[in-house]
Amino acid sequence: MKFINILALLVSLSLSAVAAYYSIIGLTAIFAASFWPIVVMGSTLEVAKVVTTSWLYQNWTVAPRFVRYYLMLAVTVLMFITSIGIFGYLSKAHIDQSSKSSISVVDQDAIQTKLDIANQDITFARATLANLDSVVQVLTDAQRINGERGAVAVRASQQVERDSLNALIAANSKIVSTLLEEKQKVDTETSALETEIGPLKYVAEIVYGNSETATVEHAVRLVILIIIFVFDPLAVLLLIGANAGLQHANNIAKINNAKAFPNIREPRAKRKPKDIGATLPV
């Protein structure tokens, strides 16, 4: 019995510590301009919450009513603040993940746009070369090989343009090769991000029936709310339960000791000495 109460106490303190860690990080994300003041304030308030909860339970019957009510309100507000910090932390984590996914999509679109432009340049250059070849081929078919307007002369006059077009094809081919490598990397990162977001899509499918972007955002908020409603409140209630269990175990131990040693009595208070004058005869 005593072991489970001590274990409950340790677990409640561990939960409080973890909740405090996430809450402080979340609060520093909300108030990023005052990092260290928020860390000091959050740490102090979290310790105060745990101590206040234990003190309030142990001294419930002797504490004035106003003190009891104020401390109950303070613990409730501190739980709410901790929950807000945890919500901020988890929301920031989801936003960071979503921003990475958005960046990957933007990168994919940008790479695809560059690929389309490079491929269009290659297609245009190849089509132009094909037209130049067709002109030479027509002259060749007409057996106009030599002469100023023969196939040889026409092809020679096209050489500068052909070199330019071939250089354009070669340069854009290198660009396409580089872009395809970048696209493969981005596609791999996007697939990894999709794998990370996959469980959220399953949650959205189960709860809302679809996995659209807006629905996934609703599912994320639902999961975060569920977490914060069982995180810090569980730590506080478990701390109260541990205090109650330990107090009950101590009471049972006292009763058992009294039964085992019935002849042992608590020392009686010292009697006050009688007035000597009152005992003298008149």
pLDDT digits (tens, 9 = 90+) for 140-183: 777 777 766 777 788 888 889 989 999 999 999 999 999 999 99
**Residue 282: per-residue pLDDT:** 41
Q: What is the pTM of this model?
A: 0.67
Kindly tell me if the per-residue pLDDT of 125 is higher than 90: yes
How far is CA 244 from each of CA 150, 232, 238, 259, rounded to the nearest angstrom? 108, 19, 10, 23
**Residue 59: per-residue pLDDT:** 92
What's the mean pLDDT when you consider all of the chain? 85
CB neighbours of residue 12 within 10 Å: 23
Q: Exposed e or buried b for every residue in 204-240, given b needs 16+ CB within 10 A?
A: beeeeeebeeebbeebbeebbeeebeebbbebbebbb
**Per-residue three-class SS string for 92-144:** HHHHHHHHHHHHHHHHHHHHHHHHHHHHHHHHHHHHHHHHHHHHHHHHHHCCC
Confidence of residue 201 (pLDDT cuts 50, 70, 90): confident
pLDDT digits (tens, 9 = 90+) for 69-91: 999 999 999 999 999 999 989 98
Q: Which residues neighbour 261 within 8 Å (Cβ) at sequence distance 6 or greater?
A: none
pLDDT digits (tens, 9 = 90+) for 255-271: 877 777 666 555 554 44
Q: Which residues neighbour 6 within 8 Å (Cβ) at sequence distance 6 or greater?
A: 242, 246
Cβ atoms 232, 82 nearer than 8 A: yes
Q: Which residues neighbour 98 within 8 Å (Cβ) at sequence distance 6 or greater?
A: none
Q: Which residues neighbour 81 within 8 Å (Cβ) at sequence distance 6 or greater?
A: 23, 27, 45
- Pick the residue with more confidence: 173 or 251? 173
pLDDT digits (tens, 9 = 90+) for 208-225: 888 787 888 888 888 889
Residues in the chain, total: 282
pLDDT digits (tens, 9 = 90+) for 7-35: 999 999 999 999 999 999 999 988 888 89
Angle at Cα 197 formed by Cα 115 and Cα 214, nearest 5°?
A: 90
Least Cα distance to 190 among 278, 97, 110, 124 occurs for 97
Q: What is the rounded CA–CA span in Å between residue 60 and residue 58? A: 6
User: 101 by DSSP, 3-state: which?
Assistant: helix
